[in-house]
Structure 1
Amino acid sequence: MTKTRYPASAEEAAALIRDCAGSGTPVVPRGGGTRLDFAVSGTVLSTAGLAGIAVYNPAEMVMTAGAGTPLAEVEAALAANGQMLPFEPADSRPVLGTAGEPTIGGVFAANVSGPRRLTAGAARDSLLGVTFVNGRGEVIRAGGRVMKNVTGLDLVKLMAGSRGTLGYMTDVTFRVLPAPRATETVVVTGLDDAHAAAAMATAMSLPVEVSGAAHLPFTVAGRFLSGALPQGAATVFRLEGLPHSVSVRTEKLTAALSAFGVITWLDEPQSLTLWRQIRDAAPYAQDRGKVLWRVSVAPTAGHLLMGALRLHAGADCFYDWQGGLIWLRMEADPEADFLRKAIRQLGGGHATLVRAPDRFRKDIPAFEPEAPAVAALSARIREKFDPRGIFNPGLMG
């Protein structure tokens, strides 16, 4: 049986976790419930009672908020002061068909990072401090409000992306950045995957500060911007900043890419919509019965991986992060073994099973199996944080 508890403080959460540790009851930390739940039954510890922005001084560009604070509340407060979360967290609800409200704690627990990761880093790179309760029921405060606390940062970064397997986060402190005053997108039409990879490499080598580089093959490009992109494949580059700077950099990028194909441009409203759709993998919000992978490889290896997959099985995809992130939808079988073997042969990476029918889900690990040495290290870390193994044990199978 699953019970849900709503602690209102770190100390209250610590008491509940001590009780669970004593009885060996699994504990499932939960934010807004917007992502698939792989955990076993037990006690669900919601962060809903730990909501609210505690400290925010726009001049310092740092915020502290309860882990259960809705992401929308955080983003609204930042937008009112011309600021933003630099790592551009995605909304998983469309592709997963889930409800609920994303929370800032959930964002960091899953290390959710969007197209701007190319230049701004992942969510964990913005996380400065965290308060959490470990598996012994001890309240731990790590990091701080500045980047100088190196001792705390290692612990902070371990919590980011741990998905509730190391502890129950109660509040987070993170840096923010000024929001861009202008946004424009350069579109190169008609490139195949290999030429798109070359175009993206060229763009990223230039001093024009591209903040997003993605390739939308012809099979999927028509599903973006309600089909308003030029017909055919679209390789897209985002430039952000002050209006005059964006204009100058757009001209330089256009000149450099003109040899690759026909170039058009998207204005700010179209750009904002397009990159939000890329961020959220919007074309795959339909047909939720089909398998969806999130694959991370070296940018130069993405099109090679897809070449092998298209020969082996029916697959549809688009590329973000200069080709280093592939949103991959399979037409039938997940092809997990073939996919993960191909990734290893191309130099490594990882494939996360985002969505799949239950008949596949029960037999395929959602996360990339760790190498033996890494798995042993991960086990030792979990043992230190959670000696009774009560946190989110369903993710460990």
Structure 2
Amino acid sequence: MRPETEAELADMIAAATGPICVRGGGTRGVALNGDLLETGGLSGITLYEPGSLTLVARSGTALAEIETALAAEGQRLAFEPMDHRSLMGTKGTPTIGGVVAANVSGPRRVSVGACRDFMLGVRYVDGTGTTVKNGGRVMKNVTGYDLVKLMSGSWGTLGVLSEVSLKVLPQPETAACVMIDGLSDAEAVAAMARALGSPFEVSGAAHLPVGTDGTPVTMLRVEGFAGSVAYRADQIAGLFSDLAVRIERDPEAVATQWAQVRDVAAFHGSDGDVWRVSCTPSEAAQLGAKTGADALLYDWGGGLIWARVATGTDVRARLGAFDGHATLVRGTGQPKFQPEPEVVAALTRGLRQKFDPKGLLNTGLMG
């Protein structure tokens, strides 16, 4: 099934009698039982008002098309969505609907928020074939259910997105990256916390235990006007004057560095399962060690750990109870998402019963 209009999408879901596997660009390697429903036919930017920092697009619109349109006006998606293809070994085309459905958020999340924080409105078709609209084209406080936030990160289990409205932001004039060499994981987490707690507006904080030269590197990004970036980079470097510090001031080199962090390039072309652990940054180094990973990458100042482990490894069992959750991004043999406590699971079941009473949409994906 490949609907070309929202009405066709609604008719297909209303007529369905068995499970439906919803797919955007197919870049995240999700394979489920059921009839395949591809959203790529729901494509195109329907509204773009650069002066209002607002963009509306159908869910199957290629992410690259949106980024090209924004770049022409000196704007961007501030939440820096990841490209999963090289990590997952897939060949699809990332779509804006897939980004929203999975709440895909990159390194800049630590400073500006996640994808869901930039959502203004959604249109979707629920499991009964009913078309629903929620939100609008401006940020405002509203009463009632915030379905915009609910749909962001629901992975197509509550409804199939047909259109999304987004707030966009200006592209900064330049960027720089302060790099500290040779820190242990614990030292790096402490350094990132210090930088993020400073007044110098760090827009990215990551640590690679094994950098491109084989040694540890901690990366602190600043963005904005040229004079401000130069000053802030120097000030951040000064916070660590007793360490091995260097500054990359070429914005193209900085962009390449952070695209590699965003897309977890250190794990590309390697075997093994990949897990994504969201945690309290102060626990990051300890949890990273518990994973027993062959390779690690810390992002969000330590709030996000990427771990590559041997195939079939149950990272959740190794971590035990902690304040966070572990998601299996690449691999099989374990549930993709962290099992929910029974109280939360009951709420989740209640929501799905309301949105998808026939149990059609991406059944089994989220428990």
Q: How does 1:339-378 map onto structure 2 within 5 Å?
A: 339-341=318-320, 344=321, 346=322, 348-356=323-331, 361=332, 363-378=333-348
Partner of 2:306: 327
Partner of 1:386: 356
Q: How does 1:235-314 map onto structure 2 within 5 Å?
A: 235-259=218-242, 261-266=243-248, 267-287=250-270, 289-309=271-291, 313-314=292-293
Q: How does 1:61-140 map onto structure 2 within 5 Å?
A: 61-140=53-132
Give me the whole-angstrom Cα distance separating, in 1, the residues matched to 2:85 and 2:139.
32
**Would the alpha carbon gap of residues 232 and 364 (structure 1) be closer, same or farther in structure 2, given more than 3 Å must change?**
same
**Would the alpha carbon gap of residues 152 and 79 (structure 1) be closer, same or farther in structure 2, given more than 3 Å must change?**
farther
Q: How far off its partner does 1:314 sit?
A: 4.8
Looking at secondary structure, tell me which structure has more helix per residue: 1
| C-alpha distance after superposition, 1:56-101 (max 9, x if no partner) | 0100000000000000000000000000001000000001000111
Q: How does 1:88-237 map onto structure 2 within 5 Å?
A: 88-148=80-140, 150-151=142-143, 154-217=146-209, 220-222=210-212, 227=213, 232-237=215-220
Instruction: Please tell me whether residue 29 in structure 1 is matched to residue 22 in structure 2.
Output: yes
> Secondary structure at the residue paired with 2:190?
helix
**Would the alpha carbon gap of residues 314 and 199 (structure 1) be closer, same or farther in structure 2, given more than 3 Å must change?**
closer
Give me the whole-angstrom Cα distance separating, in 2, the residues matched to 1:337 and 1:233.
26
Greater mean alpha carbon deviation, residues 199-208 or residues 299-308: 299-308
- TM-score under structure 1 length normalisation: 0.89
Give me the whole-angstrom Cα distance separating, in 1, the residues matched to 2:54 and 2:366.
33
> Secondary structure at the residue paired with 1:150?
coil
**Would the alpha carbon gap of residues 192 and 53 (structure 1) be closer, same or farther in structure 2, given more than 3 Å must change?**
same
Instruction: Please tell me whether residue 9 in structure 1 is matched to residue 2 in structure 2.
Output: no
Kindly provide the amino acid, as one letter, of the partner of residue 277 in structure 1.
Answer: Q
- TM-score under structure 2 length normalisation: 0.97
> Secondary structure at the residue paired with 2:313?
coil
**Would the alpha carbon gap of residues 153 and 179 (structure 1) be closer, same or farther in structure 2, given more than 3 Å must change?**
farther
Q: How far off its partner does 1:149 sit?
A: 5.2
CA contact (8 A) 1:28 1:392 kept: yes
CA contact (8 A) 1:143 1:152 kept: no
Q: How far off its partner does 1:332 sit?
A: 4.9
Give me the whole-angstrom Cα distance separating, in 2, the residues matched to 1:186 and 1:269.
15
Give me the whole-angstrom Cα distance separating, in 1, the residues matched to 2:366 and 2:354.
15
Percent identity reads: 47
Aligned length, in residue pairs: 366
> Secondary structure at the residue paired with 2:364?
helix
Unpaired stretches in structure 1, ≥5 consecutive residues: none
Give me the whole-angstrom Cα distance separating, in 1, the residues matched to 2:313 and 2:303.
20
Kindly provide the amino acid, as one letter, of the partner of residue 91 in structure 1.
Answer: D
Give me the whole-angstrom Cα distance separating, in 1, the residues matched to 2:338 and 2:307.
15
RMSD over aligned CA atoms reads 1.4
